[in-house]
Amino acid sequence: MSTTFPARSIGSAASAVAAAPVVPAHSRLRPLGLHEVRITGGFWGERQRINAAHTLGHVLGRLESEGWLPNFDRAAAGTLPAGRRGREFSDSEVYKYLEAAAWEIGRSDDAELEATLRSVVARVAAAQEPDGYLNTRFGRPGQQPRWSDLEWGHELYCLGHLFQAAVARERTRPGADDGLLGIARRAADLVCEVFGPTGIPAFCGHPEVETALAELARVTGDERYRAQAELFVERRGHETLRDIEFGRTYFQDDVPVRDAGALAGHAVRANYLAAGAVDVAVDAGDDELLGALRHQWARTRGRRTYITGGQGSHHQDEAFGDDWELPPDRAYSETCAGIASIMFSWRLLLAEGDAAYADLIERTLYNVVATSPAADGRSFFYANTLHQRVPGVEADPEGTSPRASSSLRAPWFEVSCCPPNVARTLASLDAYVATADDEGVQLHQYAPSEIRTTLPDGRVVSLDVQTAYPADGVVRVVVGEDAGGAWTLSLRVPEWADGARLRVRDAAGAVIDDDATGPGRVEVRRDFRTGEVVELELPMAPRLVAPDARIDAVRGCVAVERGPEVLALESTDLPGGADVGRAAIAGDAEPVERDGRVWLRVGLRPDESDGWPYGNRSASATAAAEEAELVPLVAYHDWANRGPSTMRVWLPVE
């Protein structure tokens, strides 16, 4: 079967609406979609390649073999609930797959994937009830009634992912005749009917439908969807849902969104809700709500975020802890929470333009999203600990793992949100690289990429970004054509990049301008000529990083970073595979770069006997490290790729 759509060529299909995950009605920065930005290789290009070549197929295979996609066939055949498999939210994984496939088709125009998407959509379509209801777990004889368990049922959550899939499809293939948008609209219409102003005065225990409805409104122009999203956001926080063991904070029903001080409760729920609330605030011009979210973002970043960008320090409820409660060994840092945090940050970046949002996105991409999938794209971390105390256990390649117990990457989970969530994120990653505004283009993430967009005044900006980042710190932005007048190229200097330099070269390579620049956003406004180059040089020397004194769990420790990457010490690299728990570094230790790796002088404490472990102050302080050796560190996102090991990001200083 061949596709009916032309292959993507950058800049050639500049539609009114970007083929991007978030397209606000109005915002400070305008997103650039897959037709305007293409990642062409490098760190992320390789991951996108693996995502397309392996992960999508792996996910689909598991959706089939686990019975989660066949649930739709059973629904269509009228045989449910018999034989239904999977948790109450398993439908959503099918929708996340569809979203990932839609973006990937938008990126690569893969005909086989197009056929697959259409066949999956057809199976989903067949399961939809005449009134638009769609869920394989509720509403049939022998099942719980529709909307009877808003706390845990995930019905609206599942539909939210359906809507996001339809949005992705419509943005990348406007008017496609596969029926996905129609399925979504029928379901959304039902949601508006059932949960509208005079309907059930409640909402879903797992936010997601809010941002999805807002985007569906943007795609369809249907104002009801936006109003429903707003209603869902505003209803939250008034103790409407039943109390549960974890408390109503778990699903953000303890405090109204606009009154909250920081994200709290289940980390994925909190970030999805915050993302939806930004959508609502932006489209409604609700500056009070937007201000509250901006404050929550800052507070959450400042007090509830791991050095990796990861969020969530409770295993029990997959939740944020209190301020400063960031234990590395119990870091939950769910992969999906990282993705959700990127969704929240990205929306604020579009709304406000502050480089700090892109800083956190970069950190989270390199150290959470990139950490989850194995090199082959077929197994994943669900949780992302910062300190593995006991060597992990290899997951059965054919098996299904408990979600967070897997200490090594696992192919699939009982709760398997992370694999398709990673897939949809990687497949749409091009859209997070750059934005535009009236004055020009902003680069947020550095990857080899082609950018071609049209400014509101009709001028075309065309850029070729050349870089080996993060292996190397030089980012060369080559101007592809004269725009015919001055415009502004804005580049993000990451928060860690003290001592960066910005150079402008003419087409012959001669330096026109050369300035030191610091963290934040640096702008070059110029009547750029074809072949001119803006060159950002970021300092990539490895650096020691200390935690805020209020983060109790890593007091007395330092971490090593290099560029956007957090590094880790893995037992695999220690003499004799020694446990990283024995490691300590001297107060004056400094990381060095050699042979493409970062090395640090690490000592090993003797493994002592087991007396009572609390005692006289002077006695306990004298656990001297054995003679330190130079040991290579590993990028955190690469750990656990060489078999079972222990690992730690934070290294105690003697």
Residues that bind a copy of itself (CB under 8 A): 245-247, 298-299, 301-303, 305, 307, 314-316, 321-325, 327-330, 356, 359, 387, 389-390, 402-403, 405, 414, 495, 543-559, 581-582, 584, 605, 609-617, 619-621, 623, 650, 652
Question: Cα separation of 647 and 571, whole Å?
Answer: 6
DSSP 311: B
Question: Cα separation of 188 and 213, whole Å?
Answer: 8
Q: Are 486 and 532 in contact (CB under 8 A)?
A: no
Q: Which two tokens stand for residue 154?
A: 């995930």
- Number of Cβ within 10 Å of residue 215's Cβ equals 27
Helix or strand (DSSP H, E) at 184 = helix 180-195
Q: Which is nearer to a copy of itself, 133 or 250 (CB)?
A: 250
Q: How far is the CB of 270 from a copy of itself (least distance, A)?
A: 16
Measured in whole angstroms, the distance separating CA 496 from the mean position of its chain's CA atoms is 20
Q: How far is the CB of 561 from a copy of itself (least distance, A)?
A: 8
Widest Cα–Cα separation across the chain: 76
Q: Which is nearer to a copy of itself, 27 or 416 (CB)?
A: 416
Question: Cα separation of 250 and 269, whole Å?
Answer: 8
Q: How far is the CB of 243 from a copy of itself (least distance, A)?
A: 9
Q: Which is nearer to a copy of itself, 302 or 484 (CB)?
A: 302
Query: Which backbone phi and psi does 379 adopt, to 5 degrees?
Result: -145, 160
Question: Cα separation of 63 and 78, whole Å?
Answer: 20
Q: How far is the CB of 527 from a copy of itself (least distance, A)?
A: 36
Q: Which is nearer to a copy of itself, 310 or 448 (CB)?
A: 310
Q: Which two tokens stand for residue 315?
A: 């295993």
Question: Cα separation of 632 and 591, whole Å?
Answer: 9
Question: Cα separation of 67 and 70, whole Å?
Answer: 5
Taking each helix axis from N to C terminus, what angle separates 209-220 and 180-195, rounded to the nearest 10 degrees? 120
Question: Cα separation of 165 and 614, whole Å?
Answer: 55
Q: How far is the CB of 422 from a copy of itself (least distance, A)?
A: 22
Q: Is the dihedral of CA 79, 82, 84, 87 positive or negative?
A: positive
Q: How far is the CB of 604 from a copy of itself (least distance, A)?
A: 12
Cα–Cα distances in angstroms (integers) from residue 557 to residues 560, 589, 632, 649, in the given order: 10, 12, 18, 9
Q: Which is nearer to a copy of itself, 245 or 627 (CB)?
A: 245
Q: Which is nearer to a copy of itself, 128 or 388 (CB)?
A: 388
Q: Which amino acid is located at 285 in the chain?
A: G
Helix or strand (DSSP H, E) at 282 = helix 267-284
Q: Which is nearer to a copy of itself, 393 or 512 (CB)?
A: 393
Q: How far is the CB of 323 from a copy of itself (least distance, A)?
A: 7
Q: Which is nearer to a copy of itself, 37 or 307 (CB)?
A: 307
Q: Which is nearer to a copy of itself, 138 or 413 (CB)?
A: 413
What ranges in 18-89 are assigned the alpha helix state H? 42-50, 56-65, 70-77
Q: How far is the CB of 363 from a copy of itself (least distance, A)?
A: 9
Q: Which is nearer to a copy of itself, 407 or 453 (CB)?
A: 407
Q: How far is the CB of 22 from a copy of itself (least distance, A)?
A: 24
Q: Which is nearer to a copy of itself, 228 or 385 (CB)?
A: 385
Measured in whole angstroms, the distance separating CA 197 from the mean position of its chain's CA atoms is 33
Q: Are 333 and 382 in contact (CB under 8 A)?
A: no
Q: Are 601 and 589 in contact (CB under 8 A)?
A: yes
Q: Which is nearer to a copy of itself, 194 or 298 (CB)?
A: 298
Q: How far is the CB of 563 from a copy of itself (least distance, A)?
A: 15
Q: How far is the CB of 209 from a copy of itself (least distance, A)?
A: 27
Helix or strand (DSSP H, E) at 634 = strand 634-635
Q: How far is the CB of 580 from a copy of itself (least distance, A)?
A: 11
